[in-house]
């Protein structure tokens, strides 16, 4: 049955194009006759008719047809006529009249013609051709509007009164969509920070004011929905909108970025709830992975903590870089099973090897290095929860310090090429056991850099949005269970990054390291956890104080109000990637001195002696001050 349908569709398209061509030709000749007739003060009509039927007129018609076909003006659907179609009409008329003018000037002595009539015919031809298209577009929009008005009430959505943030190109397209689909709602105002647009209108809708006044504008206009119509919009705009509307019932939606849309078209149906990723105070970072491929391709790669949020994403990205083998190490069999099955069933990866084991188990790790001889180690395994590690400090030390040292010792002895350790901003001037353990791990990495063939470095993460155990995961659970979000302190703030950003930072660090360095991502300004909580409630379609609440619980113990990305003793320089910074570290204690100090720390941890652990940590690095 398909071929007849295809033939009918194609035939219908050609018939429409032929009809359009005939209409345009008729208009061309009618305006030529009319212009000449007016030029002759309406005395007789033979000459204009003779002109259109003789050589110059026939040539003009042929040129017009050729230019129209070349620019495809007959194939454009008049119901969707746009300024681009009008531009093409103008170009067709200009080409036709310019070539005809040259012909008439050559035949000046043989053909009777008038320059005034010729110019008038060109203008009239363009106006009429553009006019019939505009009329067709207007008729189509009116019929569409009537059709949607006739949708039964039970089939139509509840109409929204919509404020649109952004009075630019995207805002104009969104307005067009609401006009074409009135059952989805009606636009009652525009919000834009550009003072030159204040009080102006776009498609009859007035610009009411800047984002700072959006709550008042929403109340005045009776708005129930806000659409952020700024593709690739700055996260600061999103956060400002959410913050200002936090105490209102107005819902917030955003549009996909332009890179997500086909041919730049925007549709109201594609509005989506704002994702937490939108709340970054900056544009998400992205880097070129070609330098990473250069050192990963054909090598055996070991990823520790491969079942976690970061480790599993490292695994996914490394598999695309064509390693000879990928060893996925983890203690939890369920997590390793999930990522292993994902690679086999969905990615078709055959080079990945799952290994269950504890990095603190020296015998197991020795077997792993003897068996697989990894060239590159991405070390993502760690204990990371601050309050939990305050209650179990010995585990933070034994795992984060002892496990890292075991891996580094084996990496050096087995001739590994690169070791990238994942650290945290809490390792800068630490005030808790988790941050202190990661700081000592950084020092252990640093003293092993350059030993044998090994190039070792660390990367410092901020809080990773969407990772397991992150604040966003806690908020989601709290909102589902009690609709009460728990915030430790109204002034506490943190740096945030996305999982893909974090992993690209890890991978690039292996290529960028020059020795005695640590890498950090440019994460913009820190975000207050209270603001994040208010925005999260808004994202869920709820109102702070009515549908959900926020309670301040107080500091959970040894938590900083604001984290740091580097210390005063460290020097920060740029890299070849704008989003990544290299922290040059001062020379640290020699391995021969650090080794017994770390041994003393691990002994204190095995003895569960918190006071001895504090003293050992401070002795290794005086910047560590745990109360």
Neighbours of 221 (CB within 10 A): 16
Quote the CA–CA distance of 576 and 508 in Å, as a whole number.
10
Q: Cα–Cα–Cα angle for 285, 291, 293, nearest 5°?
A: 105
Which tokens hold the place of 351?
A: 């080079």
CA 233 to mean position of chain CA atoms = 9
Which tokens hold the place of 139?
A: 């008729």
DSSP state of 301: E
CB 536 within 8 A of CB 483: no
Question: For 152-240, where are the E strands, in sequence order?
Answer: 160-165, 185-191, 201-202, 205-209, 225-228
519 Rama sector, left if φ>0, alpha if ψ -120 to 50, beta otherwise: beta
Is 173 a residue of the active site?
no
Nearest CA-CA partner of 522 in 292, 285, 313, 233 = 285
Quote the CA–CA distance of 24 and 612 in Å, as a whole number.
92
483 Rama sector, left if φ>0, alpha if ψ -120 to 50, beta otherwise: left
CB 248 within 8 A of CB 225: no
Q: Cα–Cα–Cα angle for 82, 85, 91, nearest 5°?
A: 145
Catalytic residue among 197, 299, 384, 426: 426
CA 525 to mean position of chain CA atoms = 18
Q: What is the SS3 assignment for 457? A: strand
CA 11 to mean position of chain CA atoms = 43
Please give the positions annotated as active site: 426
């Amino acid at each position: 049955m398909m071929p007849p349908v295809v033939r009918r569709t194609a035939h219908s398209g050609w018939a429409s194009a032929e009809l359009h061509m005939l209409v345009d030709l008729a208009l061309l000749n009618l305006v030529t006759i009319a212009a000449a007739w007016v030029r002759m003060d309406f005395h007789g009509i033979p000459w204009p008719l003779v002109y259109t039927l003789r050589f110059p007129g026939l040539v003009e018609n042929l040129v017009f047809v050729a230019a129209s076909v070349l620019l495809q003006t007959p194939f454009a659907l008049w119901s969707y006529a746009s300024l681009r179609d009008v531009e093409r009409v103008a170009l067709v008329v200009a080409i036709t009249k310019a070539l005809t003018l040259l012909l008439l000037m050559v035949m000046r002595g043989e053909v009777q013609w008038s320059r005034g009539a010729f110019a008038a015919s060109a203008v009239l031809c363009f106006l009429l051709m553009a006019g019939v298209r505009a009329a067709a577009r207007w008729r189509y929009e009116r019929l569409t509007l009537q059709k949607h008005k006739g949708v039964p009430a039970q089939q139509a959505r509840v109409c929204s009164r919509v404020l649109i943030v952004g009075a630019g190109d995207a805002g104009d397209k969104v307005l067009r969509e609401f006009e074409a689909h009135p059952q989805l709602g009606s636009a009652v105002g525009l919000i834009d920070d550009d003072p030159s647009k204040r009080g102006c209108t776009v498609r009859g809708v007035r610009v009411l004011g800047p984002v700072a006044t959006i709550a008042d504008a929403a109340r005045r206009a009776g708005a129930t929905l806000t659409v952020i119509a700024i593709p690739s919009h700055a996260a600061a705009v999103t956060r400002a909108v959410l913050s200002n509307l936090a105490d209102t019932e107005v819902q917030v939606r955003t549009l996909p970025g332009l890179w997500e849309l086909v041919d730049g078209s925007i549709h109201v149906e594609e509005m989506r709830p704002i994702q937490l990723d939108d709340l970054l105070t900056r544009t998400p970072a992205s880097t070129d992975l070609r330098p990473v491929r250069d050192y990963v391709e054909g090598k055996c790669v070991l990823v520790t903590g491969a079942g976690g949020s970061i480790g599993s994403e490292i695994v996914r990205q490394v598999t695309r870089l064509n390693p000879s083998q990928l060893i996925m190490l983890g203690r939890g069999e369920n997590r390793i099973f999930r990522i292993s099955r994902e690679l086999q069933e969905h990615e078709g990866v055959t080079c990945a090897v799952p290994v269950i084991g504890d990095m603190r188990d020296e015998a197991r790790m020795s077997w792993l290095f003897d068996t697989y001889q990894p060239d590159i180690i991405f070390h993502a395994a760690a204990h990371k929860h601050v309050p939990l590690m305050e209650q179990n400090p010995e585990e933070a030390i034994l795992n984060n310090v002892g496990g890292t040292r075991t891996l580094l010792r084996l990496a050096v002895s087995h001739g590994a090429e690169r070791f990238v350790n994942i650290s945290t901003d809490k390792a800068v001037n630490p005030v808790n056991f988790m941050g202190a353990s990661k700081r000592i791990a950084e020092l252990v990495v640093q003293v092993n850099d350059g030993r044998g063939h090994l190039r070792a470095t660390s990367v410092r993460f901020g809080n990773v949005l969407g990772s397991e155990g992150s604040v966003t995961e806690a908020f989601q659970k709290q909102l589902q269970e009690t609709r009460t979000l728990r915030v430790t302190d109204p002034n506490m703030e943190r740096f945030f990054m996305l999982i893909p950003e974090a992993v690209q930072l890890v991978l690039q660090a292996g290529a960028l390291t020059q020795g005695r360095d640590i890498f950090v991502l440019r994460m913009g300004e820190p975000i207050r956890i209270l603001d994040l909580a208010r925005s999260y409630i808004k994202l869920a379609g709820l109102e702070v104080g009515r549908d959900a609440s926020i309670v301040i619980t107080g500091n959970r113990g040894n938590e900083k109000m604001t984290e740091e990305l580097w210390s005063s003793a460290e020097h920060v320089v740029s890299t070849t990637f704008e989003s990544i910074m290299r922290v040059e570290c001062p020379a640290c204690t020699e391995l021969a001195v650090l080794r017994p100090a770390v041994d003393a720390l691990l002994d204190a941890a095995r003895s569960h002696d918190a006071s001895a652990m504090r003293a050992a940590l401070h002795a290794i690095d005086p910047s560590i001050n745990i109360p």
